[in-house]
Structure 1
Amino acid sequence: MTSNEQFKTCFNYIDGEWLASSNNQIETKYNPSHKSEIVGVVPMSEREDLHKAIAAANQAKQGWRKLTGATRGDYLFKIADQLQNRLEEIAETLSKEMGKPLAEAKGETGRAIAILRYYAGEGLRKTGDVIPSTDAEGFLFTTRSPLGVVGVISPWNFPIAIPVWKIAPALIYGNTVILKPAQEASITATLLFECIHAANLPAGVANLVLGKGSIIGQGLAEHPDVNAITFTGSNEIGKQIGLTAFARGAKYQLEMGGKNPIIIAEDADLDLAVQATISGGFRSTGQKCTATSRVIVVGKVYEAFKQKLMEKVKDIRVGNAMLPSSWMGPVANAKQLNTVQSYIKLGLEEGAELLYGGEAPSDPECENGYYIQPTIFDKVTSQMTLSKEEIFGPVIGLIQVNSLEEAIHTANDVEFGLSASIFTKDIGTMMRFIQDMDAGLIRVNSETAGVELQAPFGGMKHSSSHSREQGTAAIEFFTSIKTVFVKP
Structure 2
Amino acid sequence: MTTTTEAKTKTYLNYVNGEWVTSETGKTGVSKNPAKKDEVVGVYQLSSSNDLDKAATSARQAQNAWKKLTGNVRGDYLLKAASIMEERADDIGEAMTLEMGKTFPEAKGETMRGVAILRYFAGEGMRSVGDVIPSTDSDALMFTTRVPLGVVGVITPWNFPVAIPMWKMAPALIYGNAVVFKPASETAVTSAKIVECLHDAGIPAGVVNLVTGSGSLIGPEMANHKKVDAITFTGSNTVGKQLAKIAVERGIKYQLEMGGKNPVIVANDADLDLAVEATISGGLKSSGQKCTATSRVIVQKDVYEAFKEKLLTEVAKITVGNGMDKGTWMGPSVTEGQLNTVLSYIEKGKKEGATLLYGGNKLDGKGGLNGYYVEPAVFEGVTPDMVLAREEIFGPVLALMKVNTMEEALETANDSEYGLSASIFTTKIANMLSFINEMDAGLVRINAESAGVELQAPFGGMKQSSSHTREQGQAAKEFYTSIKTVFVK
- Taking structure 1 as the reference length, the TM-score comes to 0.98
Q: How does 1:156-305 map to 2 (within 5 A)?
A: 156-305=158-307
Residues 221-240 of structure 1, C-alpha deviation per residue, up to 9 Å, x if partnerless? 11111000000000010000
Change (3 A) 1:394 1:485: same
Distance 2:165 2:14 in 1: 16
Structure 2 match to 1:113 = 115
Q: Which amino acid aligns with 1:131?
A: I
Residues 312-347 of structure 1, C-alpha deviation per residue, up to 9 Å, x if partnerless? 101100000101110000010011001001100000
Shift of 1:7: 2.7
Shift of 1:214: 1.2
Q: How does 1:48-87 map to 2 (within 5 A)?
A: 48-87=50-89
Shift of 1:365: 4.3
Shift of 1:217: 1.1
Shift of 1:361: 3.3
Contact 2:456 2:473 (C-alpha < 8 Å) held by counterparts: yes
SS in 2 for 1:332: coil
Shift of 1:360: 2.1
Shift of 1:364: 3.1
Moved >6 Å (runs of 4+): none
- 1:145 aligned to which of 139, 144, 147: 147
SS in 2 for 1:364: coil
Distance 2:135 2:368 in 1: 69
Q: Which amino acid aligns with 1:163?
A: P
Q: Which amino acid aligns with 1:17?
A: E
Shift of 1:485: 0.7
Residues 235-286 of structure 1, C-alpha deviation per residue, up to 9 Å, x if partnerless? 0100001111111001000000000000000100111000010000100100
Gaps of 5+ in 1: none
Structure 2 match to 1:14 = 16
- 2:448 aligned to which of 446, 449, 452: 446
Q: Which amino acid aligns with 1:194?
A: E
Structure 2 match to 1:320 = 322
Residues 438-465 of structure 1, C-alpha deviation per residue, up to 9 Å, x if partnerless? 0000000000000000000000000000
Distance 2:243 2:364 in 1: 41
Change (3 A) 1:180 1:362: closer
SS in 2 for 1:8: coil
Q: Which amino acid aligns with 1:468?
A: R
Contact 1:422 1:430 (C-alpha < 8 Å) held by counterparts: yes
Structure 2 match to 1:409 = 411
Structure 2 match to 1:435 = 437
Distance 2:304 2:46 in 1: 50
Shift of 1:85: 1.1
- 1:101 aligned to which of 97, 100, 103: 103
- Taking structure 2 as the reference length, the TM-score comes to 0.98
Distance 2:364 2:240 in 1: 37
CA RMSD of aligned residues (A): 1.1
Q: Which amino acid aligns with 2:254?
A: Y
Distance 1:384 1:173 in 2: 45
Q: Which amino acid aligns with 1:165?
A: W
Shift of 1:106: 0.6
Residues 397-439 of structure 1, C-alpha deviation per residue, up to 9 Å, x if partnerless? 0000110000000000010000000000000110000000000
Shift of 1:8: 2.4
Residues 85-120 of structure 1, C-alpha deviation per residue, up to 9 Å, x if partnerless? 111000000000000100000100000000000000
